[in-house]
């Protein structure tokens, strides 16, 4: 059976020593009373819930899956899931960072980020049930009417009800402009929706009394394409004036997808048969609400892979210390045993260090983005709000794509550490690989994230936002450029920072002449940008650790941090050179291939 221990020490390091979150957020009136002890207590209790309540359900949930009653369209979740959700609600976790006006605790988003990382490590399939609610909540909080907020937000905040995002359809995938679901206006101002949706995570279940679906659909006079999409609230049960549940609505689960992983989550085919709904925002402006949901989901999906990277690493490390096989190439290390633990072998260490470097780098980036999100929403200075939102917009596709690609690399590497045992279900490693694989696909595939980054976030403003991140890199380089102990971190980072401007300009110029050049370069480009961002945070983490060591701190945590940073820059960061070369190879070798596909 797998193991999991919440990485509280590293979370505290990033929060208090690297980002100094409590000091930073105290400048926001909303968090004026925040202190490190409160943050640490929340993390500790959240870790207990993840490790003790939902982690023991991960393997059984994967084995049992969800069951659909085709007569009633009701879905039963795996054994223990519903009881665990009741404990989750009882502990007040759904509203951790929610608006106090609607029953939330109003704590910083970074604490919710850490809670969800731990829950994703423990049980991604279970965590998706409450997790999908956050995107629906955010869309309603931003675009809902006062009546809609009063009707739905409190019970979504407290966890009494969950939410979903009903976006795609069988024929359109991510191209939502092709959707066919219709919404017919009614005399009372409501709408009747008819159509089919697929791949709806947590779309039907038995864990809450009601499910609030946010559905994209077309009005009868809607213009074609994405400009003709509207957003609607469609509850599983209609809600009476007094807040009680009324009649069953005409929205139901027509089938469950049979999937590679996340078996414990109900990925539903949703049928709308004249379902009652109310409009969110303006007609034909549904993409505004959709992007609120999608951006929240994209950060959340990156967090899913972060969680799986961490738990896969922990299990692979424990196995590598215990499993004996062959002798070290440099001579026996465990002379009292017939063979050495496999952790003495260089390539085993490489696989372990890869997962660790990607987990700790991803954690720093994810927590940084959470702070940006709070600043974008709550800072008193309009310029800070705007700058934070702009930076978050740049980093969101990197969080989604780079962290999930790294999760794929890491979970596979950690399974490899187990050798043949990793391929066997009882060890739990193959489940981490299977569960992670969807993260590279949904909420916009990683190729779409790459096109978003290069086309919309970088080239559309001539790299202005990227240059703002470059200034952060430049400040660190200026601060540590003459420090010999930081040279192995600063020099490669500075070099890539300089190369990035030239690289971006070159791709942009070629794309101006031929748009396919952007498509050909985008995936490689995002990965280069991801390493630039990770390199910045790894250099900063090394900086903090080296200062502690220089001050006489003998905590081995800091030496481990430096050693992991050293590995990252020596073995993973150099990937950028080959990526830039392949990106510059252009589109011709891809597009001038008709004979291949004839």
Catalytic residues: 443
Residue 463 has φ and ψ, to the nearest 5°, of: 75, 15
- The Cβ of residue 318 has, within 10 Å, a number of other Cβ atoms equal to 14
Written in H, E and C, the secondary structure of 562-593 is HHHHHHHHHHHCCHHHHHHHHHHCCCHHHHCC
Written in H, E and C, the secondary structure of 529-552 is HHHHHHHHHHHHHHHHHHHHHHCC
Encoded tokens for 552: 């006489």
Residue whose C-alpha is closest to residue 455's, from 394, 391, 403: 394
- The Cβ of residue 214 has, within 10 Å, a number of other Cβ atoms equal to 29
Residue 520 has φ and ψ, to the nearest 5°, of: -75, -30
240-267: buried (b, 16+ CB within 10 Å) or exposed (e) per residue? eeeeeeeeebbbbbbebbebebbbbbbb
Residue 170 has φ and ψ, to the nearest 5°, of: -55, -35
- The DSSP-derived string for 87-101 is HHHHTTGGGTTS-GG
Residue 556 buriedness (CB in 10 A; 0-12 / 13-18 / 19+)? exposed
Partners of residue 230 on adjacent β-strands:
217
H or E stretch at 378: helix 346-378
Encoded tokens for 433: 């690989």
C-alpha angle 253-255-256 in degrees, rounded to nearest 5: 105
Between CA 101 and CA 240 the distance in angstroms is: 21
Residue 90 buriedness (CB in 10 A; 0-12 / 13-18 / 19+)? exposed
Partners of residue 164 on adjacent β-strands:
213
Between CA 509 and CA 368 the distance in angstroms is: 32
Residue 410 buriedness (CB in 10 A; 0-12 / 13-18 / 19+)? buried
Between CA 489 and CA 493 the distance in angstroms is: 6
Contact 164, 200 (CB under 8 A): yes
Between CA 535 and CA 254 the distance in angstroms is: 46
Region of 168 please: left (phi>0), alpha (psi -120 to 50) or beta.
beta
Contact 76, 69 (CB under 8 A): yes
- Residues with Cβ within 8 Å of 45's Cβ and at least 6 positions away in sequence, in order, are 91
């Amino acid at each position: 059976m797998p193991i999991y221990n919440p990485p509280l020490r590293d979370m505290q390091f990033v929060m208090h020593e690297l980002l100094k979150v409590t000091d930073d957020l105290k400048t926001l009136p909303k968090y004026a009373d925040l202190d490190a002890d409160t943050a640490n207590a929340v993390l500790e209790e959240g870790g207990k819930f993840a490790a003790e309540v939902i982690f023991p359900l991960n393997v059984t949930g994967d084995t049992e899956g969800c069951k659909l009653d085709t007569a009633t369209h009701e879905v039963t979740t795996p054994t223990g899931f519903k009881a665990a959700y009741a404990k989750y609600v009882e502990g007040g976790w759904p509203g951790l960072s929610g608006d106090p006006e609607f029953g939330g605790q109003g704590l910083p988003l970074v604490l919710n980020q850490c809670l969800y990382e731990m829950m994703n490590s423990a049980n991604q399939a279970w965590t998706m049930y409450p997790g999908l609610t956050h995107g629906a909540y955010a869309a309603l909080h931003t675009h809902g009417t006062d009546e809609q907020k009063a009707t739905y937000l409190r019970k979504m905040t407290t966890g009494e009800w969950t939410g979903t995002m009903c976006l795609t359809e069988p024929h359109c995938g991510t191209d939502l402009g092709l959707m066919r679901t219709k919404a017919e206006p009614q005399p009372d101002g409501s709408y009747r929706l008819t159509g089919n949706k697929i791949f709806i995570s947590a779309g039907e279940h038995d864990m809450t009394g009601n499910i609030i679906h946010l559905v994209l659909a077309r009005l009868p006079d809607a213009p074609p394409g994405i400009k003709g999409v509207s957003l609607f609230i469609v509850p599983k049960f209609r809600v009476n004036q007094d807040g009680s549940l009324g009649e069953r609505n005409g929205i139901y689960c027509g089938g469950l997808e049979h999937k590679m992983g996340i078996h414990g989550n109900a990925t539903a085919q949703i049928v709308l048969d004249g379902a009652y709904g109310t409009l969110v925002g303006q007609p034909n402006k549904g993409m505004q609400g959709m992007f609120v949901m999608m951006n929240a989901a994209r950060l959340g999906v990156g967090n899913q892979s972060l969680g799986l990277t961490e738990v896969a690493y922990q299990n692979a490390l424990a196995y590598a210390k215990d499993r004996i096989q062959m002798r070290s190439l440099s001579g026996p290390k465990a002379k009292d045993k017939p063979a050495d633990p496999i952790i003495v072998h260089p390539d085993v260490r490489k696989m372990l260090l890869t997962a660790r470097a990607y987990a700790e780098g991803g954690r720093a980036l994810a927590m940084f983005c959470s702070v940006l999100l709070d600043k974008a929403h709550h800072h008193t200075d309009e310029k800070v709000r705007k700058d934070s939102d702009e930076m978050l917009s740049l980093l969101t596709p990197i969080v989604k794509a780079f962290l999930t690609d790294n999760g794929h690399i890491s979970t596979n590497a950690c399974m490899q550490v187990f050798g043949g045992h990793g391929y066997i279900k009882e060890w739990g490693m193959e489940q981490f690989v299977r569960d992670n694989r969807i993260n590279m696909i949904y909420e916009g595939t990683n190729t779409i994230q790459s096109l978003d980054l290069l086309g919309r976030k970088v080239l559309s403003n001539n790299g202005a936002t990227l240059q703002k991140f470059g200034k952060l890199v430049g400040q660190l380089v200026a601060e540590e450029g003459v420090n010999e102990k930081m040279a192995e971190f600063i020099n490669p980072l500075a070099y890539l920072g300089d190369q990035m401007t030239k690289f971006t300009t070159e791709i942009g110029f070629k794309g101006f002449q031929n748009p396919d050049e952007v498509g050909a370069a985008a995936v490689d480009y995002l990965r280069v940008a991801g390493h630039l961002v990770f390199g910045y945070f790894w250099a900063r983490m090394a900086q903090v650790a080296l200062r502690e060591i220089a001050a006489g701190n003998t905590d081995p945590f800091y030496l481990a941090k430096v050693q992991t940073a050293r590995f990252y820059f020596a073995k993973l960061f150099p990937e950028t050179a080959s990526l830039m070369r392949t990106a510059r190879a252009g589109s011709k070798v891809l597009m001038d291939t008709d004979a291949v596909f004839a």
